[in-house]
Amino acid sequence: ILNVEQSPQSLHVQEGDSTNFTCSFPSSNFYALHWYRWETAKSPEALFVMTLNGDEKKKGRISATLNTKEGYSYLYIKGSQPEDSATYLCASNNNDMRFGAGTRLTVKP
């Protein structure tokens, strides 16, 4: 994988549903994997930075895992709320920082 790829492109869930999405990144020259939360009309906000294979990070209802050997990371949101609606970006820091296209999450009340 030469680029950072995220799936799905968009996701619509009901309030209370748990959800997850995927980030695939190049595993060579890997330094760190970043997750950002990006709300419309605001700048991306850092959620997690992970560096080690097997890393797991958690912030409230949001958690992330990292597999550097196979080059993927999962972001999980437990019990989604309308305020979780945003675009979730991942970025892989190899020789430079490359962003995926994001997963646009919409949580319906």
Catalog residues that contact another protein under the rule CB under 8 A.
6, 32, 34, 36, 42-46, 49, 51, 89, 91, 93, 95-102
Q: CA-CA distance, 33 to 56, in Å (whole number)?
A: 12
Q: How far is CA 8 from CA 52, 71, 78, 87, 88, in A?
A: 24, 17, 17, 11, 11
* Minimum distance of another protein from residue 23's CB (angstroms): 11
Of 78 and 98, nearer to another protein (C-beta) is 98
Dmax over Cα atoms in the chain, in whole Å? 42
Q: CA-CA distance, 88 to 92, in Å (whole number)?
A: 14
Of 42 and 83, nearer to another protein (C-beta) is 42
* Minimum distance of another protein from residue 73's CB (angstroms): 14
48, with CB counted inside 10 A (0-12, 13-18, 19+), is buried
Of 22 and 93, nearer to another protein (C-beta) is 93
Of 45 and 56, nearer to another protein (C-beta) is 45
Q: CA-CA distance, 105 to 107, in Å (whole number)?
A: 6
* Minimum distance of another protein from residue 87's CB (angstroms): 9
* Minimum distance of another protein from residue 4's CB (angstroms): 8
